[in-house]
Structure 1
């Protein structure tokens, strides 16, 4: 069998789709594209698909990941092309690589998030973020199917900064796909703050709404609306950046082709 790792997006109106419905749409696309999936054993065989750390409903993403096990060898680039023809709008495959050594979930150590807060000025957001960063602990509550859960949102926030929605030069330089979606913004909107955070993947996971609840706790900031996008995932590097989780897979593939030394 062949194992492939895919990066895909969840954009536009698709962010309101639950992960379960998204997974069903993905399985239909695999069938339409004729992907030779390996199947599980038992009375109800299922295609071998492993999802990694999916975003919650209502959140967009530029960096979602999934693993596939195939019954035959295929070219990852060809698979991307064929699947993109069958996937719903907003779910686009960005890259596919042959799986190298190690576990993909272990490489998804942290994520970078962009959270738009229309109606909140950049100055007000910067003040609230400063209060959050100096706090040692900020407890927030989340309602789950098992009841109310309390967590320390501050512990998961590794860094936070505020950008101005009108600073298109800075936004296009760092987040080009964000600018590409500018037509999706409501017209005539006043300048507002955009919160950029690096959040460690914890158990339970701290989500964008948990960070916003933490801002409410420390600074009484309660935005009327918010739109969050996960921009990237990966391991933290020595400089506080996020390493590409596919880097090891590309290196292993290049070594097999004789393009890199094995020592």
Structure 2
């Protein structure tokens, strides 16, 4: 995302003169969009909106788009982030409107700011999630939460590229609570979870697996996870801040 391309490289491109950081949401059925599908849809939207995006040099130039900590397929999100490099300065508000119009409903541009120094990925220290459990009473969910929080470690297994791996999902969970969804017709518990970004990252389905093993959680219907925020972690109160706040304050 930086520097002037080598003029002697194949297909030398124009240099980046502006970087924009973009917050977008995945809502409704679009939560089932994979990261690869979203990337293709976003590149089409950039072309359709005629955004003057920069390209890499080489035999197969690629648009200068950098994605940061995308949510897992099947999870909705109100706080996904990416960064684009442009060859001409643009008004962030205009770019927001153009991209939002070019993307399908359910993938919505929430905010666009001019990037200031510092890596965006370094600010994404934790995520705040909300997990709906249809058919689960709040009493049952609270009992599972208490069992999870009382454990020193909660080991789960996840299939990864190099095979099955055992992870401690308890260590990454900074806050976990349960409440009732008052708008639901039947019983529905809502879990509020704050998870620190570790390597490998602990996902909502990992937390649910831990609640099943350590707290006896049972679910007959499919849980629905929504990321509400991701950004810098306030270590004093455990809340997740806005990663674009520095870019706004510095402008």
- Could you say what secondary structure the match of 1:42 adopts? coil
Give 1:130-209 correspondences, 5 Å limit: 130-166=146-182, 189-209=185-205
Shift of 1:145: 3.2
1:227 has 2:224 as partner: yes
Measured in 2, the distance between the counterparts of 1:83 and 1:102 equals: 24
Shift of 1:220: 2.1
Measured in 2, the distance between the counterparts of 1:140 and 1:2 equals: 43
- Could you say what secondary structure the match of 2:38 adopts? helix
> Runs of 4+ in structure 1 displaced over 3 angstroms?
none
Aligned to 2:237: 239
TM-score (norm: length of structure 1):
0.87
The structure whose residues are more often helix, as a share, is 1
Shift of 1:236: 1.2
Q: 1:118 aligns with which of 124, 131, 134?
A: 134
Measured in 1, the distance between the counterparts of 2:181 and 2:143 equals: 17
Shift of 1:222: 2.7
Shift of 1:161: 1.0
Structure 2 gap ranges (5+)? 1-16
Instruction: Name the Cα RMSD after superposition.
Output: 1.0
- Could you say what secondary structure the match of 1:4 adopts? strand
Aligned to 1:75: 91
Measured in 2, the distance between the counterparts of 1:36 and 1:8 equals: 19
Measured in 1, the distance between the counterparts of 2:49 and 2:215 equals: 50
Measured in 2, the distance between the counterparts of 1:12 and 1:214 equals: 26
Aligned to 1:50: 66
- Could you say what secondary structure the match of 1:133 adopts? helix
- Could you say what secondary structure the match of 1:92 adopts? strand
Superposed CA deviations along residues 194-218 of structure 1, whole A, max 9, x for unmatched, are 0000000111110000000001111
Structure 1 gap ranges (5+)? 169-187, 254-263
- Could you say what secondary structure the match of 2:232 adopts? strand
Measured in 2, the distance between the counterparts of 1:252 and 1:189 equals: 46
Shift of 1:101: 1.8
Superposed CA deviations along residues 101-142 of structure 1, whole A, max 9, x for unmatched, are 211111010000000001110000001101111111000001
Shift of 1:149: 1.2
- Could you say what secondary structure the match of 2:43 adopts? helix
Judge which range, 232-241 or 2-11, deviates more: 232-241
The answer to whether the Cα contact below 8 Å between 2:229 and 2:241 also exists between their aligned partners in 1 is no
Measured in 2, the distance between the counterparts of 1:127 and 1:3 equals: 47
Superposed CA deviations along residues 17-49 of structure 1, whole A, max 9, x for unmatched, are 111001100000000000000101110001000
